[in-house]
Amino acid sequence: MIRILLVDDHPALRAGLTAVLRAEPGLVPLGAASSEEELWPALNRTKPDVVVLDYHVPPADGLQLCRRIKRQLTPPKVLLYSAYADAKLVIPGILAGADGVMNKSAPAGELYDAIRTVARGENVRPPVTRELLEDANARLDSDDLPILGMALDGTPEGEIARTLGLGADELTHRLERMIARLKVEVPVPRAV
C-alpha cells in the first residue's frame, strides 16, 4: 500500500484525485491540504509515502514547499503535479528535491505509475535537454554551476557541501537562490 497526501489549492481537483486514487488498488489517499498552513499538520498526522504536490499553492509555491518537505527528518517522496510541469520545471524541481515532475493533463494511469515509481525510489521527470542546461547556465551565477552539475547527477546535498567546502546553511541559501532564478512563472488568472 502506498499512502498519499494531496496538496492542491483547487477543491474540485483534490476531490477528483482522491476519488480516482481511492479506486486504484494499492494506492491509499490519506488526506488533502489546500495551503501551506494545512500541509504541515496533514503531513505530521498522515505520515505519507508520497506527497502529490501542486506547483502553485499560494502564498508559497510547490518548489519552496517541496524543498521544506524534503528537509524533514524522514521525508516522503514528492511528485510535483502541475499544469505547468513542462520541461522548464525539471531543473528547478531537481534542485528542490522533487522525486518526480508530472503534468496534470496526463492520463490517470500515468499518474498511478508515477506514484508507484517514486514510491520505489525512482525518479519520474522529463529529460534534462541541452537547451534547458544552457538556459540554466545563463540564468545562474558561474559559482553555482558546480552545484547544479552535482545536483543533476544526483549527488546528495551533504556531499555537495563537503566537495565544495560549503557549510550546510550556505548550500541551502544558494540552492534556494538558484531555484528562485530558475522557477517557472505561473500565469495569474484574470478576473472576468
Contacts 24+ apart (CB under 8 A), 66-69: 66/93, 66/96, 66/97, 66/98, 67/96, 67/97, 67/175, 67/176, 67/179, 69/39, 69/43, 69/97
Report the pLDDT value the prediction gives residue 56, as an integer from 0 to 100. 82
pLDDT of residue 126: 87
Q: What local confidence, expressed as pLDDT, does residue 190 receive? A: 46
* Dihedral angle sign, alpha carbons of residues 98, 162, 168, 178: negative
**Residue 83 confidence (pLDDT):** 81
Asked if the peptide bond before residue 25 counts as cis, ω within 30 degrees of 0, the response is no
Threshold 0.85, pTM exceeds: yes
Low pLDDT (below 50) residues in the chain: 189-192
Q: How far apart are CA 75 and CA 161, in angstroms?
A: 20
Which CATH superfamily is 2-119 part of? Answer: Response regulator (3.40.50.2300)
pLDDT at res. 6: 96
Name the DSSP letter for residue 96.
Answer: H
